[in-house]
């Protein structure tokens, strides 16, 4: 599973990245977490608010920091 | 499960229903409470500067914070009804002028954070929203700030608040319109028009009413949690001026008769970065000491609407020439508004 955090480096983006990594680690989820900072790459997902959370190439959220249990259920494919 | 969600929903309705009357009760009795604290609790001697400054502080801090909480909550809920995607769709087919008008208006209600300015700019421009219309949005969104609006409303009354919103709108419309007319597309970084943004079907975020209420509370937690300290500091500065600086002290510097005060106020305001909540108590103190409304309003708009750090971020997508044009047009707009108000009042 690939997880991407889209963001140019604002505070919210860093918070989300740290959060996702923590959730992945704590729940032993086999996922590769990657931070995407390139603008055109970010735009290719069609979002207009950062941070974006992309799981297996699907945009799950943008512009917000989702709650932990929400992230976890997305990671589990629920 | 069903039962639980029902309970949750009930709670979400119940909380605002209880909190709202409490809010009003507290807000309407603040003055009495403040007097009580100053006179009976602290037993401060009447009539000296220290007492005057402390009373100002004790009354204004809870008042401004209360207003802030209510409005940020309301705006947080209202914003769940708008999204950048929807705004983009509305603006997509618009021509200049009509587009500038709607972009400026939508700039007020669409959720916006300066860190998202770039993706938003790209998303708008690449999907065919005209450059000038995009700029109207980007100018209105930070300049007409809900926090500033409420503070003006609470501290100066609805006339000043209305003036702030309408002049902000006019500046955003006018600046975007001029930028559109000047045909500055060539000063957008070349790669912007070359890359086509992907538009995969993003699942639209659907909100239930309970979620909208939650969004309101989240906004309060986030925004009030961040700005309260600036409010307190701003009011402390205001209180200092209030108690110690003589009446009409500012008249010779920022008064009506000083013709250069408006442009100077705007230029000083550009590199200053403050959020609306921090600047307004200072605005209040300046006005009270004889500064003229036009000059102070121009200063405030320059500080919150034009900020250097935000403009530097735009360098990723705009050539320096366009940034300079953008700042000059908006600054001129603010200067004109400043003079206009000095003339009227």
Strand order in the sheet with A52-55: A32-36, A2-6, A52-55, A58-62
Whether residue B58 is found in the same domain as residue B139: no
* Closest CB to A48 among B123, B195, B198: B123
Question: How confident is the model over B205-223, as a mean pLDDT?
Answer: 83
Arithmetic mean of pLDDT over chain B? 81
Whether residue B36 is found in the same domain as residue B25: yes
**Contacts (Cβ under 8 Å, ≥6 apart) of A17:** A5, A7, A33, A35, A51
Q: Confirm if B304 and B145 have CB atoms less than 8 A apart.
A: yes
Does B191 sit within 8 Å of A40, measured CB to CB?
Answer: yes
Nearest CA in chain A to B123: A48
Whether residue B269 is found in the same domain as residue B122: yes
Nearest CA in chain A to B119: A48
A13 tagged catalytic:
yes
Does A48 sit within 8 Å of B85, measured CB to CB?
Answer: yes
Nearest CA in chain A to B127: A46
Whether residue B66 is found in the same domain as residue B170: no
pLDDT tens digits for range B111-124? 777 777 888 888 88
Question: How confident is the model over B60-69, as a mean pLDDT?
Answer: 86
- ipTM score assigned to the predicted complex: 0.80
pLDDT band at B2 (very low <50, low <70, confident <90, very high): very low
pLDDT tens digits for range B277-295? 777 777 877 887 888 888 9
pLDDT at B45: 76
Pick the last residue of a domain from B195, B225, B242. Answer: B242
**Contacts (Cβ under 8 Å, ≥6 apart) of B92:** B127, B128, B129
Does A40 sit within 8 Å of B123, measured CB to CB?
Answer: no
Q: Confirm if B184 and B320 have CB atoms less than 8 A apart.
A: no
Query: Which residues of B are less than 8 Å from A8 in CB distance?
Result: 115, 118-119
Exposed/middle/buried for residue B249 (C-beta within 10 Å: 0-12, 13-18, 19+): middle
Total tally of structural domains belonging to chain A? 1
Whether residue B93 is found in the same domain as residue B234: no
* Closest CB to A46 among B191, B199, B317: B199
- How far off is chain A from B170, nearest CA to CA, in Å? 25
Mean pLDDT is lowest, of A55-59, B168-172, B203-207, for B203-207
* Pairs of CB atoms within 8 A across A/B: 66
Whether residue B134 is found in the same domain as residue B258: yes
Total tally of structural domains belonging to chain B? 2
Q: Confirm if A8 and B317 have CB atoms less than 8 A apart.
A: no
pLDDT tens digits for range A9-46? 777 888 899 999 999 999 998 889 999 988 888 888 88
In terms of residue numbers, what domain contains B315?
A: 84-206+245-344
CATH number, residue A13: 3.40.30.10
- How far off is chain A from B46, nearest CA to CA, in Å? 47
* Catalytic-role residue among A1, A2, A9, A10: A10
* Catalytic-role residue among A5, A13, A24, A71: A13
Task: With H, G, I as helix, E, B as strand and everything else as coil, classify residue A52.
Answer: strand
Whether residue B18 is found in the same domain as residue B126: no
In terms of residue numbers, what domain contains A12?
A: 2-75
- How far off is chain B from A30, nearest CA to CA, in Å? 25
Of residues B95 and B322, the one with the higher pLDDT is B322
pLDDT band at B54 (very low <50, low <70, confident <90, very high): confident
CA–centroid distance for B186 within its chain: 31
Whether residue B70 is found in the same domain as residue B154: no
**A33: enclosing H helix or E strand:** strand A32-36
Whether residue B258 is found in the same domain as residue B340: yes
Pick the last residue of a domain from B223, B242, B261. Answer: B242
Does B115 sit within 8 Å of A12, measured CB to CB?
Answer: yes
pLDDT band at B201 (very low <50, low <70, confident <90, very high): low
- How far off is chain B from A43, nearest CA to CA, in Å? 5
Query: Which residues of A are less than 8 Å from B116 in CB distance?
Result: 10, 48-50, 63
Does A40 sit within 8 Å of B119, measured CB to CB?
Answer: no
Whether residue B101 is found in the same domain as residue B236: no
Does A11 sit within 8 Å of B198, measured CB to CB?
Answer: no
pLDDT tens digits for range B238-276? 777 766 777 677 677 777 778 888 999 898 888 877 667
Whether residue B194 is found in the same domain as residue B231: no
Whether residue B176 is found in the same domain as residue B325: yes
């Amino acid at each position: 599973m690939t997880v991407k955090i889209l963001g140019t480096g604002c505070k919210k983006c860093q918070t989300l990245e740290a959060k996702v990594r923590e959730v992945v680690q704590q729940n032993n989820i086999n996922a590769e977490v990657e931070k995407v900072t390139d603008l055109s790459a970010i735009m290719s997902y069609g979002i207009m608010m950062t941070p974006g959370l992309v799981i297996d190439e699907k945009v799950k959220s943008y512009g917000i920091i989702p709650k932990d249990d929400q992230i976890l259920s997305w990671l589990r494919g629920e | 499960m069903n039962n639980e969600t029902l309970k949750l929903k009930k709670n979400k309705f119940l909380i605002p229903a209880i909190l709202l009357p409490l809010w009003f009760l507290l807000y309407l009795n603040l003055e009495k409470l403040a007097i009580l604290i100053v006179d009976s609790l602290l037993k401060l001697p009447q009539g000296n500067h220290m007492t005057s400054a402390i009373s100002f502080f004790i009354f204004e801090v809870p008042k401004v914070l209360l207003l802030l909480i209510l409005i940020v909550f309301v705006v947080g809920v209202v914003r769940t009804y708008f999204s950048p995607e929807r705004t983009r769709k509305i603006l997509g087919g618009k021509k200049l002028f009509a587009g500038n008008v709607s972009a400026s208006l939508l700039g007020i209600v669409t959720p916006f954070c300066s860190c998202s300015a770039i993706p938003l700019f790209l998303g708008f421009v690449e999907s065919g929203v005209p450059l000038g219309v995009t700029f109207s949005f980007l100018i209105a969104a930070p300049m007409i700030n809900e926090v500033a609006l409420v503070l003006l409303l609470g501290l100066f009354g609805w006339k000043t608040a209305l003036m702030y919103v309408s002049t902000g709108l006019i500046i955003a419309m006018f600046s975007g319109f001029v930028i559109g007319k000047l045909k500055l597309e060539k000063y957008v970084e070349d790669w912007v028009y070359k890359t086509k943004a992907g538009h995969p079907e993003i699942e639209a975020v659907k909100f239930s009413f309970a979620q909208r209420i939650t969004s309101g509370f989240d906004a309060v937690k986030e925004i009030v949690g961040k700005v309260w300290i600036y409010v307190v500091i701003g009011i402390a500065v205001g209180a200092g001026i209030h108690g110690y600086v003589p009446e009409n002290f500012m008249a010779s510097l920022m008064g009506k008769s000083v013709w250069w005060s408006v442009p100077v106020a705007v230029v000083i305001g550009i590199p200053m970065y403050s959020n609306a909540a921090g600047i307004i108590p200072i605005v209040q103190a300046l006005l009270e000491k004889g500064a003229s409304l036009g000059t102070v309003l121009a200063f405030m708009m320059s500080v919150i609407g034009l900020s250097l750090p935000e403009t530097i971020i735009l360098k990723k997508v705009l050539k320096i020439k366009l940034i300079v044009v953008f700042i000059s047009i908006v600054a001129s707009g603010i200067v004109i508004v400043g003079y206009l108000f000095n003339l009227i009042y």
